[in-house]
Amino acid sequence: MKNFVSALIIGVCTSCLLFSAFSVPAATGSTADQSVNDGKLEKTKIAVVDLNLVLNKSKSLQQSLGKLKLNVSEGEEVAKKKLAEIQQLTQRLMGLDKESEEFKDLEFRLQRKKKEFEEFRQEGIRRFANEESEAFLRAYRIAAKEIANYAQAHKIDLVTRFHRNNFEDNNPATVLPTLNGMQVLYENNLDITDEIISVMAEQ
């Protein structure tokens, strides 16, 4: 009997020790993790940038868009000449007999001119879209690099995009797109947009 009681006491003590060994450190670790997380959150430094404004102020982007606009103007002049040729052929057809060889020849030339014009127009649209997107992508990469450099120099951990509320309230064309693009609804002296614009202007 005495051996049975001793064995029971030893078993209970062992269970208590095992329970303590597994439960106490877990609770201590949880508190420590929470403390670390809280400390990390407290030390996180955040800034916001109006990227649209930065790009609009980019000299390199404006120069690229200026060259692109010039190319578009030149393309429009070529398109006008092609349209004038089409109109001339159309007018000549109006005074001819539809069964004549001349009419058939001019009609064939007219269809070919129309096809060439449409191909020219589609190619111009495609080229313009590609060059425009490439210009914006180059400017974005420059801006992203400068934002990263500025953030590292000022020990900023996170930079997020936002919109300064600089749209016209009475212009639906600007209000809805701006509202849909808003990611930050409030910030307190976190805006580094002007600083980034100044850095990029020095390039």
172: CB partners within 8 A, 6+ apart: none
pLDDT digits (tens, 9 = 90+) for 128-168: 999 999 999 999 999 999 999 999 999 999 999 998 876 66
More confident position, 182 or 7? 182
pLDDT in the model for residue 2 = 40
Tell me what the mean pLDDT of segment 115-122 comes to: 94
For residue 16, pLDDT over 80 is answered with: no
Query: DSSP code of 100?
Result: S
For residue 181, pLDDT over 80 is answered with: no
Tell me what the mean pLDDT of segment 75-101 comes to: 90
The beta-strand segments (E) located in the chain are: 46-49, 158-161
Say if residues 58 and 202 touch (Cβ distance below 8 Å).
no
Q: How far is it, in rounded angstroms, from Cα 196 to Cα 52? A: 12
Q: Does residue 185 sit in helix, strand or coil?
A: coil
Report, in angstroms and rounded to the nearest whole number, the Rg of the chain calculated over CA atoms. Answer: 36
How many other C-beta atoms are found inside a 10 Å radius of the C-beta of residue 14? Answer: 10
Q: Residue 186 is which amino acid?
A: Y
21's tokens: 């060994």
Q: How far is it, in rounded angstroms, from Cα 79 to Cα 73? A: 10
Q: What percentage of the chain carries pLDDT values higher than 70?
A: 76
